[in-house]
Structure 1
Amino acid sequence: MTTCPVDPVLCMALFVSDTPCYSDPDAATVRATVDATLDRFGPDECYARAAEVFGDRPDVALDRIQWARSVCAKALAPAAA
């Protein structure tokens, strides 16, 4: 299993956002979406909403979290030194 180089709460915020997982948002859009989602729900609510999706629709949730982690890693990961 690989680890995500980005804070997991950022991935959860993208996961619970309205952004479709078939999209390929640029870094600025990802940052804006994550910031807006965290401002709207806060970290705890993002995790709660994600848990609800995993409980209700695990088939959808797995693909979506993999997408969110991949997009966040591209857009938000610190540059290698």
Structure 2
Amino acid sequence: MTTRPVDPVLCMALFVSDTPCFSNPNDAEVRATVDDTLDRLGPQECYARAAEVFGDRPDVALNRIQWARSVCERALTAAGAR
């Protein structure tokens, strides 16, 4: 069984959220955070903020985007969401 990759904008929304990457949010928390962040900022602002972090702190950004992607893949594909 293959799964589709998570839409990158959903990962960006978690990336720019206030959720600390050392936390272990459950699937419902991830979905709520992604939805709230996209509602507040929209996709373009999520990408803009992520780009700013990558420009200013690439060392931090790499770890955070890897965390966000992993958490989103778990939370958003497990539930069949999105």
TM-score, normalised on structure 2?
A: 0.89
The residue correspondences of 1:2-81 to structure 2 (distance < 5 A) are 5-77=5-77
* RMSD over equivalenced CA pairs, Å: 1.6
What are the superposed Cα offsets for residues 23-71 of structure 1, whole Å, 9 maximum, x if unpaired? 1100100000000000000000000000000000000000000000000
Cα distance in 2, alignment partners of residues 18 and 35 from structure 1: 13
Residues of 1 paired with 2:25 and 2:78: CA distance?
18
- Output the amino acid matched with 1:60: V
Using the aligned pairs only, state the percent identity.
81
Deviation of the 1:79 alpha carbon:
6.6
When residues 48 and 27 of structure 1 are mapped into structure 2, their CA distance, relative to the original with a 3 A threshold, is same
The one-letter amino acid of 2:23's match is: S
Shift of 1:78: 5.5
Q: Report the Cα distance in structure 1 between the residues aligned to 2:79 and 2:30, rounded to whole angstroms.
A: 16
Q: Which portions of structure 1, spanning 4 or more consecutive aligned residues, are displaced by more than 6 angstroms?
A: none
Across the two proteins, how many residue pairs are aligned to each other? 77
CA distance in 2, matches of 1:78, 1:6: 11
Q: Which runs of 5+ in 1 are unaligned?
A: none
TM-score by length of 1: 0.90
